[in-house]
Homo-oligomer: A and B are copies of this chain.
Amino acid sequence: VANGCKELGYQELAEKLQHYTETQPQIKNSRKREYVLKILYSHRSHLTPEEVYLAVKQEIDPKVSLSTVYRILSFLEEAGVVRQIDLGQEGKHYEIESGCHHDHLICSSCRKVVEFFNPDLEALQEKIASAEGFTLLGHDMKLQGICRECREKKN
C-alpha cells in the first residue's frame, strides 16, 4: 500500500483491544482472543474463519474450537481491531484493521490478493455519490485480473 499512512503494529492493536475491553466492565481477558489477533496480524493475508481456526490450532494452541474462533472474530470486529472483507464467492474473510484504508486487487488465477490505495479513486467516489444525491459513508471495491507471475507462467 503505497501511501503516506502508517499502519498499526501488533502492540498498538493489542492496546486498542485492551482499551475496548475496559470500556465494557463485564469483559474478561482471554488468551484465545490474543491468539486470534496474533494470527490475523502475522499472516498478513485475508483469512477465513476456518483458516484462522487451523492456524491458531497449529501454531499456538491445539485446543481451540471453531465456534470460539467465530465468537472471537465477531468480538474483535466490534472492538474495531479486525474487519470483515468480501473477496467474491469464496466466503467471509477477515483482515486486521490497520488504520489505513485500502481496496483489493485479486488474481483470478492464483487468488493472490494485493492491497492498494488511490487518492483519485476516493475523490471520484465522492463525486459520483453526490451527483446521485447521496452522502457517501463508505465503499467497497475489488478489481479482478491476472497478475504478472500468472501471465508469464502461461506464456
| Residues in A lying within 8 Å of B, measured CB to CB | 86, 88, 105, 107-108, 114, 116, 118, 120-121, 124-125, 128-129, 131-148, 151
Task: List 6 A-B residue pairs with CB atoms under 8 Å apart, sorted by A's residue number.
Answer: A88-B140, A116-B132, A121-B121, A129-B143, A133-B147, A134-B143
Interface centre among A116, A133, A136 (most CB of B within 10 A): A133
The one of B107, B108, B134 that contacts A105, using a Cβ cutoff of 8 Å: B134
Q: Tell me, rounded to whole Å, the shortest Cβ–Cβ distance linking A114 to chain B.
A: 5
Interfacial chain B residues near A120, Cβ < 8 Å: 124
Q: Tell me, rounded to whole Å, the shortest Cβ–Cβ distance linking A75 to chain B.
A: 17
CB–CB B124/A105 < 8 A: no
CB–CB A105/B118 < 8 A: no
